[in-house]
């Protein structure tokens, strides 16, 4: 199989669009279609159904997707292993990050990395922490900077770099701000604005607060959205201590908080590129 044909196939499958795949690969749409047609002819199976504007994988396409991703990862690992022999820091580094880390932890690190290693082509993707883990597991990303998964829940290598303390946050006009004593039972009486169920952060909140019940007004992945809704008085939440104004921290609830670990995950069976090793070292120094 032709590697560039497999790359085109994977890109179309990810975007579910020939035109978006063409934009990503800096090719014309006919060029992408030609590569897919060549792959279909070689395999003797149709890989995509194109109905109107919708593009979806056929059963044969779904089967090929897993193998194709593995093949491309192994090819990239081979190139990386050979490049590492030269001890040069160059080439592509595919990096995923959560929005919170990308906006509040990474800018200084990225600035230094780009200045120190101008020959590295940094491919940065923003995604939820859980998606970042899956992308590293599947070989789609080399590193992910995320809220770390619970210990023992993943086979990925975990490198802890930061700790976030999430503290009780509430508008000064909210009834909770006037409570004489805030306990788990008191919190349970009022709506909450929290990360979505199934996320690492939400699982941590549920486990550590152990509220009898939680009436969530809204569940969202975006901390900035949570902060806005708390500020206007729509509910209480838990927010990073170093990013919240003092007036949003009720004195009676200062004892209510949890710690979450942030850091890097990488696949232990994947040969790390020199660029990845340099990036990890730079993160640990900052």
**Which residues does 225 contact at the CB level (< 8 Å), separation at least 6?**
218
The two three-digit tokens of residue 74, written as one number = 């192994």
Helices of type H across 2-142: 3-15, 18-25, 29-43, 59-84, 99-104, 107-116, 129-137
Same domain as 247, residue 146: yes
Same domain as 219, residue 103: yes
Q: CA 90 to CA 205: how far, in whole Å? A: 40
Same domain as 110, residue 182: yes
Q: Mean pLDDT, consecutive 10-residue segments, the chain of 286 residues?
A: 88 91 90 92 91 88 88 81 75 92 92 94 93 91 94 89 92 89 87 90 88 82 85 91 84 86 93 91 92
Q: Which domain holds residue 132?
A: 90-286
Same domain as 80, residue 221: no
Of the residues 85, 120, 138, the one at which a domain ends: 85
Same domain as 260, residue 191: yes
User: pLDDT per residue over 196-223, tens digit each?
Assistant: 888 899 899 888 888 877 888 888 878 7
**Residue from 187, 199, 182, 206 nearest 254 by CA:** 182
Q: 33: domain CATH number?
A: 1.10.10.10
Same domain as 58, residue 27: yes
Of the residues 38, 62, 85, the one at which a domain ends: 85
Q: CA 239 to CA 262: how far, in whole Å? A: 14
Of the residues 61, 85, 109, the one at which a domain ends: 85
Residues 63, 47: contact at Cβ < 8 Å? no
Same domain as 240, residue 102: yes
Residues 23, 34: contact at Cβ < 8 Å? no
Domain count, the chain: 2
Residue 101 burial (C-beta neighbours within 10 Å; 0-12, 13-18, 19+): buried
Distance in angstroms between the alpha carbons of the first and the last residue of the chain: 43
**Strand 143-147 to strand 120-126: parallel, antiparallel, or no bridges (unpaired)?**
unpaired
Same domain as 64, residue 135: no
Q: Is the dihedral of CA 14, 20, 23, 28 positive or negative?
A: positive
Same domain as 225, residue 115: yes
Same domain as 66, residue 96: no
Q: Is the dihedral of CA 74, 79, 83, 89 positive or negative?
A: negative
Same domain as 104, residue 70: no
User: pLDDT per residue over 141-154, tens digit each?
Assistant: 999 999 999 877 88
Same domain as 20, residue 140: no
This prediction's pTM: 0.70
Other C-beta atoms within 10 Å of 179: how many?
A: 17
Burial state string for 227-264 with b = 16 or more CB within 10 A and e = fewer than 16: bebbbeebbbbbbbeeebeeebbbebbeebbbebbbbb
Residues 122, 96: contact at Cβ < 8 Å? no
Q: 185: domain CATH number?
A: 3.40.190.290
3-state secondary structure of 44: coil
């Amino acid at each position: 199989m032709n590697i560039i044909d497999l790359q085109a196939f994977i890109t179309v499958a990810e975007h579910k669009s020939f035109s978006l795949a063409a934009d990503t690969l800096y090719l014309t749409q006919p060029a992408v279609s030609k590569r897919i047609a060549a792959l279909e002819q070689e395999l003797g199976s149709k890989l995509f159904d194109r109905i109107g504007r919708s593009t979806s994988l056929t059963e044969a396409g779904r089967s090929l997707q897993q193998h194709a991703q593995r093949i491309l990862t192994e090819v990239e690992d081979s190139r990386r292993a050979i490049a590492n022999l030269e001890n040069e820091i160059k080439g592509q580094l595919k990096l995923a990050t959560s929005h919170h880390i990308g906006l509040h932890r990474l800018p200084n690190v990225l600035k230094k990395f780009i200045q120190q290693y101008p020959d590295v082509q940094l491919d940065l993707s923003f995604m939820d922490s859980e998606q970042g883990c899956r992308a590293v597991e599947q070989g789609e990303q080399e590193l992910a900077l995320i809220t770390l998964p619970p210990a023992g829940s993943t086979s990925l290598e975990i490198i802890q770099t930061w700790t976030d303390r999430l503290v009780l946050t509430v508008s000064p006009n909210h009834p909770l701000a006037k409570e004489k004593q805030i306990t788990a039972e008191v919190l349970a009486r009022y709506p909450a604005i929290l990360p979505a169920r199934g996320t690492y952060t939400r699982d941590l909140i549920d486990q550590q607060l152990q509220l009898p019940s939680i009436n969530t007004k809204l569940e969202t992945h975006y901390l900035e959205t949570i902060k806005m809704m708390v500020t206007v008085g729509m509910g209480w939440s838990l927010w990073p201590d170093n990013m919240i104004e003092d007036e949003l921290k009720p004195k009676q609830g200062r004892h209510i908080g949890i710690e979450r670990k942030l850091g890097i995950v990488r696949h232990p069976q994947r040969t790390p590129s020199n660029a990845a090793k340099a990036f990890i070292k730079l993160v640990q120094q900052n």
